[in-house]
Chains A and B, each alone.
Chain A
Amino acid sequence: SDELTQPPSVSVSPGQTARITCSGDALPKEYVYWYQKKAGQAPVMVIYKDTKRPSGIPERLSGSKTGTTVTLTISGVQAEDEADYYCQSADSSGTSPLFGGGTKLTVL
Chain B
Amino acid sequence: QVQLVQSGPEVKKPGASVKVSCKPSGHTVTNYYINWVRHAPGQGLEWMGVINPSGDFATYGQKFQGRVTMTRDTSTGTVYMEIYSLRSQDTAVYYCARGEADSWGMDVWGQGTTVTVSS
Contact = CB atoms under 8 A, between A and B. Distances in A.
Chain B interface mostly helix, strand, loop or mixed?
A: strand
Contacts of B37: 43, 99
B56 interface: no
A21 to B, nearest CB: 16
Chain A interface mostly helix, strand, loop or mixed?
A: strand
Nearest to A45: B107
A42 B111 contact: yes
A44 B4 CA distance: 13
B47 A42 contact: no
B96 to A, nearest CB: 10
Contacts of B104: 30-31, 33, 88-90, 96-97
B47 A97 contact: yes
Contacts of A101: 44
B45 A37 contact: yes
A42 B106 contact: no
A98 interface: yes
B24 interface: no
B77 interface: no
B95 A43 contact: yes
A99 B47 contact: yes
A37 B39 CA distance: 10
B9 interface: no
Interface in A79-104: 86, 88-90, 95-102
Nearest to A6: B44
24 contacts: A31-B104, A33-B104, A33-B105, A35-B106, A37-B45, A43-B95, A43-B109, A44-B109, A45-B105, A45-B106, A48-B103, A49-B103, A49-B105, A88-B45, A88-B104, A88-B105, A88-B106, A89-B104, A95-B59, A96-B47, A96-B61, A96-B104, A101-B44, A102-B44
Interface of A: 30-31, 33, 35, 37, 42-45, 48-49, 54, 86, 88-90, 95-102
